Every structure is written in C-alpha cells, then in structure tokens.
Amino acid sequence: MQCKRLVLTFMVLGLVLVVSFSALAQLPPEIPREETLIVDQLTGRVGTPSNFNLWAGWRWQDRGIQQLLLEPLWTVDYATGEIIPGLAAELPIYNEDFTQMTINLRQGVYWSDDVPLTADDVVFTIDLHTRIAGLPYHGPMAEFVEKTEKIDDYTVVVTLKTPSSRFHTHFLDRWGCLRIMPKHIFEKAEDPLTFEFNPPVACGPYILYDYDPAGFWTLWERREDWERTPTGMLFGEPQPKYVLFQAFESEEGRILAQLRHELDMAQHTLEGLRVVLDRSDTARGWRKEWPWVVNIDPCITGILFNTMVEPYNLREVRWALVLAIDIVDYMAVAFDLMAPVSSLHLPPVPAYKEAFFVPTEEWLQEFELDMGNGEKFKPYDSEIPQKIAEAAKERGFPVPEDPVLIQELFGMGWWKYAPDVAEKLLEKNGFTRGEDGKWRLPDGSLWKISIVSDPSPVHHHFRNATAAAEQWRKFGIDATVNATEAFNSLVLNGEFSVASQWPAAEPWGAGVDLSRTFDPWHSRLLTPIGQTVALGPGGGARWCDPRLDEIIEKMEAIDPFAEIETTRLLGIEGLKVLVEEMPTIPTYGYCGPVAWDEYYWTNYPGAENPYTQPYQHWPNLKYMLPFLQPKESH
C-alpha cells in the first residue's frame, strides 16, 4: 500500500502545479450548471472544430456527433447484449439467399430542421457512398450494392451483387458505422468530401449549441422535439438539457476538474482514478467498491505473433511462450490484479460468458498438448481466478469471498504456469538453453524478442508488453519492449515479430455472431509482409487455418438473427481452433478506469445496475441520458 500512497502524493502535488493553467471550459452565463452534463472527450482536442461531416473522414466523432447528434439504424449495447433498432423499426430482413436486405424504418422520426427522415435519406446515403470513392464506406458499398430501392416512405430494399448475410453490419453502430445522411442537406453540397456540415442537423436528441474554435470543447442542447427521435421514442426524455464535451491536455487537469465538480464523467489512468476516488466524497467508479473499473468492455487485450516470421510460425513455440507466463504475476504488473483474464479470444463479458465460456469450460479442462513420446499435458487451469484473488488479498485489497463474484472480477480461467513443459516443447523444436540460462534458436543464435507496443504507458498495449517481457526474461529469453509511435503502421505492414496489439478483432458485443472476430483470419485476407492487412487486430498475425475458413464460410451462409443456435455453435468451433493453434495470446479483458461525479447527476449505469454501456465516448451515451437523475441539492 506504500506504493499507492506515493502515487497519490505525486498526483496531488501535480494538481497544485496545474491550478493556474488548467484548460477548463467555462459554461456561458446563460447555461445552468445543474442542467448540464459535462464529460471528458476521450480522443482529445478536436483538430477540425468547425467540421461535423463524419461521412468524409475522421471528425472526432466522440465530441458528441455519434453520441447525441446522430442515430444509426442499429446500435450494439454490450452491457445488455442487445442490438437496439434506432432509425430502423426492427432488425434487418434478408431473403432466402441473402441477395436482398430489407430495412423497415421507424416512423415519426424528424431531422432537427423539421424535415421527416424517410427512405429517401437511406437510398441517398447508400447511393452516394457507392458512387464516391473518397467516402469511408465506399469500399463495401461499391463491392456489395447492386441497387437500392425505395418501396415506400419507410421501406428500403438493398439488392446485393453477391450474397451477404452480414451486410447490415456496415450500419450497426459499434463505435462507428455508416450513419444515414440528411438528403435535403447533402444534395445541395457541391462536394460531400469538403462540405463541413455546419451547422449540423440532427436525427438524435441534441443539436449543436456552440463549440470552441480551438477545439477544446463542444456544447450541445436538447432538442425541443426530442420525442421525435429514436432515443425519445424508446427511452424517454434525456434529463440533461445541455451536454458539454471537454478535452483535457493533461491527466492532472482532468482530475482537478472532477474534484471541483466541473466534470461529471471521465476516463482516467488507473492512478488518476485512485486519486479521484480517494479525494472526492461524491465520485464513484463503475463498481462502487474495489476494483472499481469497468470490466465488461467488448475488447480483449494480449499479445500478437507475426506467424510469417520464424519461429512464431510454429504452434508449439507459441504455446511454449504461453506456458512460460505466470498469469498471476503478469496481471499484477499489467493492471494491478484488477482485470478479468480470458482463455478464449473473446472479452469475458456477461453475454459471452453464458454463450461461449461456460459451454467450453469442460472442453478446455480436457484439452491436451502433445509433448511427444506419448506424453500429454493439460494446460488449462480453472483455479486462476482464485489465485488472482489470493494475490489481491495479499496486497491488501478487499477481495470478496463469493466464488461467483470472483469469477465476475477475475475471469473463468487461464493457462498453467508450466516452464518445464514450455522447455520440453522448445527442445522438441530444436531450441537449446545455454549454460547462461538463455535460450538459443535452432540455428544457435540468442533468442531475442522485441515486443512492439503503443508508446503510451497507460495503454493496455504497453501494459501487456511490459508484463510479457518480464515473464519471458524470467524464463530465459532476451525480451524487451519497443514502444514506438510507429506501432500501428509496423503491425499493419507486418514489420514486427511480436506485438502487444489486440489479439483478436472485437466481437460485436451483442448476440452470438463472432464473424467480426473470425473474419480477419480467413485465408482470402492473408497478406504478405510489406502489404497492409485489412484489420490489424487479429489480422496482424497473418495467420489462417482451413478449419476456420470452413467455419467462417458456414457462418456467411446463415442468418445470425434467424439461426442463433447454429451461429453460436459455429462460434464455439472457431474458438476451439484458436485455442489449439494459439496464433495470438489473449490475456485479459479491456478495463476502463471510469469515474462518475454524483454531485450534479446520479443513477449512472454502474455494475449494480448496468442498464446500458457505461462510457461517455460510446454512441450509446444518448440511451443513458433519459435515466440519469439530477441531484436535488448540492
């Protein structure tokens, strides 16, 4: 606990230094603070403050554009495991051979300038993206769309060039999708790529009030006709009249703002979260008690191998590196024992635990590695969560005794720490250990691993790289961390051997369709080193397997909404292939150090009542706002 006190002291001293120059937004005098929700903008200062045209490229969409201004056809909510129809009245409808997709729109939705949102807007959006190469969704629209037809004001049929049972996912909002454009605005624009869409019109519950020309803040006001938006129709009136998105240049500024009740929702570093919770009587984390952090995020963190580089092309070498990791020590370094481990290439969120983790538990316990000479080894350890809990108790953390809660906090299981087995697997493949205890490659040279990582010390990539390097050095490998700003380009182009990238693409977060996770590993997307992969997470491993190809193709031939159980079982088959081959190492589910100040607002979607996803930067924020409750007194 001494380390914790030192961190707190350091951070508090830092606050004193920034009081005089912290960049905090000042609300206009006509805007009541008690009617305003102020949130941290995750992606930082806006580089194009006057431009709200996110259809033309990156426009800092988490400044409120995706959360308040616009509503998509469908939205994923990973906290509830549901897909929410927004502008659409229901889920998409496919014909039998998946060459047509029907969209039935929600009736009564209006743009904020009193123009109804109809099939004309949907047809216009798809046609424009099909024709214009510079628009971000031009690729899939040009590849798949044969024609788009308006059947009536609220019905659209998209005819596809080739069958696709997942075409709807381009319109499924999961921190990004093809949102519907206001035809009556964009048809007058000379060039949709340079048009700034300012002032923007809304189909969501808020309109633009003002923004900072320097890019530090954006202020939104609730529409008077909020009931003519999907949010209003589905969930009721958003409670804050105003929402301010504030970018901070330092962690200290963010902390200070929250301690002064000038920031209601924020995502901090782990150390920053501790400072806020320690020094504020009105702040809370996603969990009210330790470990505080959001642990239901639909991302999985870990280690990525470039399987086109020796010796990481060898399955048994990859497995040896897994078994050389003491995951309890690893988690202590990576995230102070506060995150749930994952043996599968999925985040251990509640919906996926029920659909995939629990059904594969028995198979994982019986799964064996072939050591040669008739020797087998079962690597799975279901006691890992309890071991992490015991380690957390030794650190003085208030760990619960309930085994169900321990699984919720720490996951369902991981792999045994078995350096002796790892040694056998390596020797089986021609590796040797020198008298100095260092491992040599089959050619006799010293085995060196440089883990390419995001340079930010608070990023989960950096945390994974640091923890992995420490474990592998202990095992006798010369392992280091290469934290570089060129991280993403190196991974995308295959110019690395080992990286701390996302080990698998994020699943949708709702339903049992794992196509988003598996697709980057189909052999048709296999990309040689030097050429950019389609998707870095997972795909950066440059790995494929004919068994997974077959599973992906079976999934493509069925409707995930109509054939739910078949889709789920195919997902389990694919996950087993990934465990057997271990092209990447999933370690733990992404955790968010979120702090909410309850000085002005209460009833956030905490762990005790996760009625929606808990982040301010996700598009689902609009679905949270009707449930927030203003504090009656301050």
Full DSSP string of 465-515 = HHHHHHHHHHHT-EEEEEE-TTHHHHHHHT--SEE-S-SS----SSSS--H
634 or 626: which carries more pLDDT confidence? 626
DSSP element (H, E) containing 436? none
- Whether the CB-CB separation of 304 and 491 falls below 8 Å is answered with yes
Query: 15 pLDDT exceeds 60?
Result: no
- pLDDT band of residue 349 (cuts 50, 70, 90) is confident
User: How high is the pLDDT of residue 24?
Assistant: 53
- Whether the CB-CB separation of 167 and 144 falls below 8 Å is answered with yes
C-alpha 84/C-alpha 541 separation (Å) is 33
Side by side, the strands of the sheet bearing 283-285 are 206-211, 217-222, 242-246, 36-40, 265-267, 594-597, 283-285
Neighbouring-strand partners of residue 369: 377
User: How high is the pLDDT of residue 1?
Assistant: 40
For 494-524, give one letter per residue: b (16+ CB within 10 A) or e. Answer: bebbbbbbbbbbbbbbbbbbbbbbbbbbbee
- pLDDT band of residue 4 (cuts 50, 70, 90) is very low
Candidates 182, 243, 247; CA nearest to 207 is 243
Q: Please write the tens of the pLDDT for every residue from 202-220.
A: 999 999 999 999 999 999 9
Q: Please write the tens of the pLDDT for every residue from 582-608.
A: 999 999 999 999 999 999 999 999 999
Work out whether the CA dihedral 617, 621, 627, 630 comes out positive or negative. positive
Query: 7 pLDDT exceeds 80?
Result: no
Q: Please write the tens of the pLDDT for every residue from 165-191.
A: 999 999 999 889 999 999 999 999 999
Reduced 3-state DSSP string for 377-411: ECCEECCHHHHHHHHHHHCCCCCCCCHHHHHHHHE
C-alpha 223/C-alpha 208 separation (Å) is 10
Q: Please write the tens of the pLDDT for every residue from 465-474.
A: 999 999 999 9
309 or 23: which carries more pLDDT confidence? 309
Full DSSP string of 49-66 = TT---GGGS---GGGTII
- pLDDT band of residue 409 (cuts 50, 70, 90) is very high
Q: Please write the tens of the pLDDT for every residue from 425-459.
A: 999 999 999 999 999 999 999 999 999 999 988 88
User: How high is the pLDDT of residue 509?
Assistant: 85
For 346, which DSSP code? S
Q: Please write the tens of the pLDDT for every residue from 58-114.
A: 899 999 999 999 999 999 999 998 999 999 999 999 999 999 999 999 999 999 999
Query: 404 pLDDT exceeds 60?
Result: yes
Phi, psi of 591 (to 5 degrees): -125, 140
- Characterize the bridge pairing of strands 36-40 and 242-246: parallel
User: How high is the pLDDT of residue 627?
Assistant: 98
Average pLDDT over residues 375-383: 97
20 or 572: which carries more pLDDT confidence? 572
Q: How high does pLDDT run on average in the chain?
A: 93
Q: Give 300-589's CATH code, choosing from 3.30.365.10, 1.10.10.60, 3.90.1150.10, 3.10.105.10.
A: 3.10.105.10
CA angle 512, 518, 521 (to 5 degrees): 175
The domains of the chain are located at 300-589
User: How high is the pLDDT of residue 120?
Assistant: 98
User: How high is the pLDDT of residue 25?
Assistant: 56
Average pLDDT over residues 605-629: 97
User: How high is the pLDDT of residue 444?
Assistant: 96
User: How high is the pLDDT of residue 634?
Assistant: 58
Average pLDDT over residues 225-240: 98
User: How high is the pLDDT of residue 633?
Assistant: 65
Query: 152 pLDDT exceeds 90?
Result: yes
Average pLDDT over residues 534-538: 87
CA angle 115, 121, 122 (to 5 degrees): 145
Query: 398 pLDDT exceeds 70?
Result: yes
Query: 10 pLDDT exceeds 70?
Result: no
Q: Please write the tens of the pLDDT for every residue from 308-320.
A: 999 999 999 999 9
Residues of the chain above pLDDT 70, percent? 96
Query: What token pair was written down for 363?
Result: 């198979």
DSSP element (H, E) containing 517? helix 515-518
For 370, which DSSP code? E
Neighbouring-strand partners of residue 450: 480
- pLDDT band of residue 510 (cuts 50, 70, 90) is confident
